[in-house]
Amino acid sequence: MTQSTVYSTQSSFPLPDVFSSALTELFRSVQPAIVQVRTDLRGGGTGIVWQNDGHIITNHHVVASNNAKVQVLLSDGRTLDAKVLHSNPQLDLAILKVPAHDLTALQVGKSAALRTGEWVFAIGHPWGQRWALTAGIVSSLSTVKLGNGQTAQYIKSDARLAPGNSGGPLLDADGHVVGVNAMIFGGDLSVSIPSDVVQSWIAGLPRGRAVLGVEIQQIELPAAVRQQLQPERSVGLLIVGTSARSASLQDLLVGDIILEVAGTPVSDAATLRKIVAQQQEGDALSAKLLRGGVVLDTSFVMQIVNDAE
């Protein structure tokens, strides 16, 4: 009996029209989280919205010029001024901050899970062409030596990059960021900084500290006010000034006397600082104030300030 091989017309690889539709949907979903980065001293690059509160990742070399004005262009047409919060020339990474809290952030994937032959996609602004999409496969994951004796890993792929793609995302088939595109490594191979490296760098940065953005002074309370308070107390904290970072503290005014915060009486700066230090950005703290001789209840919103800002 002669055996014959039967070839199935079915394939585990998506049909062209299905693949095309999936890629179109991937692009549509991630485009709002990809920005164009521009400076007044050199050409532009690309950035990735890392957090919806305005933190954006790009390459160090895109914003390396000292005192350069940096702006980002969003897919919705908005142009926002950006500030460089942190930068690492050796890894070629930088973090920008823009004044927005309604951005769409990309989901970060695990670069360590990448395998040679996987599909990857790059979106950026090559030669000024905005939101251009290219595709390729992972060629290898390589380790290179840095100048300080340390090593760093890079993803090599044949996704086509050009000037203007720098700082943009390398995406896996699920639309997750697995790398930050950096440069061309000879021939047609593109180099991307693995997302795991980016996450590790961010985790090692100094954390911000919570602030109220006000200057205070201890003050004696009038006898009539003391009797209204339970427990009774003799001193409060007078607001004598506000800092430039206190724009969100619209419910605190110079001349107010802080009596309680988060249900805790505050009669000295150390107690207030301890309460504030336990908060996160955006937390609303209840407060009891003395304003114009009247005790009232209000709240204020916490700010996080990074000492590098």
The answer to whether the Cα torsion of 289, 292, 296, 297 is positive or negative is negative
Active site residues: 61, 92, 166
**206: how many CB neighbours lie within 10 A of its CB?**
9
Looking at residue 211, its pLDDT comes to 65
Whether cis (ω within 30° of 0) applies to the bond prior to 231 is yes
Looking at residue 41, its pLDDT comes to 62
Looking at residue 147, its pLDDT comes to 57
The answer to whether the Cα torsion of 80, 81, 86, 92 is positive or negative is positive
What whole-number distance in Å separates Cα of residue 79 and Cα of residue 24? 25
Give whole-number Cα distances, 145 to 44, 92, 148, 151, in Å. 28, 14, 8, 4
**Amino acid identity at 164:** G
Looking at residue 177, its pLDDT comes to 98
What whole-number distance in Å separates Cα of residue 284 and Cα of residue 237? 19
Looking at residue 75, its pLDDT comes to 95
What whole-number distance in Å separates Cα of residue 307 and Cα of residue 120? 37
**Amino acid identity at 283:** D
Helix (H, G, I), strand (E, B), or coil: what is residue 96?
A: strand
CATH 2.40.10.10: which residues of the chain? 16-97, 111-203
Intra-chain end-to-end CA distance of the chain, in Å: 80
Contact status, residue 238 vs residue 257, Cβ threshold 8 Å: yes
For the segment(s) 111-203, the CATH number from 2.40.10.10, 3.40.50.720, 3.40.50.1820, 3.20.20.210 is 2.40.10.10
What fold, for 16-97? Thrombin, subunit H (2.40.10)
What whole-number distance in Å separates Cα of residue 167 and Cα of residue 126? 11
Length of the chain: 309
Looking at residue 302, its pLDDT comes to 63
Looking at residue 246, its pLDDT comes to 45
Question: Which residue, among 112, 191, 109, has the nearest Cα to 155 in the 3D structure?
Answer: 191
Looking at residue 14, its pLDDT comes to 53
Superfamily of domain 209-305: PDZ domain (2.30.42.10)
**89: how many CB neighbours lie within 10 A of its CB?**
12
What whole-number distance in Å separates Cα of residue 226 and Cα of residue 234? 6
Q: What is the CA radius of gyration of the chain?
A: 26
What whole-number distance in Å separates Cα of residue 140 and Cα of residue 134? 18
pLDDT tens-place values along the chain, 309 residues long: 444 444 444 545 555 778 889 999 999 999 999 999 999 866 689 999 999 989 999 999 999 876 779 999 999 999 999 999 899 998 999 999 999 989 999 999 999 999 999 999 999 999 989 999 999 999 998 876 655 666 778 999 999 999 999 999 999 999 999 999 998 766 678 999 999 999 999 998 876 666 677 788 999 998 888 888 888 888 999 988 876 444 345 567 888 999 988 888 888 888 888 887 777 656 677 888 888 888 888 877 666 555 444
The DSSP string of 97-149 is E-S-S-PPPPPB--GGG--TT-EEEEEE-GGG-TTEEEEEEEEEEEEEE-TTS
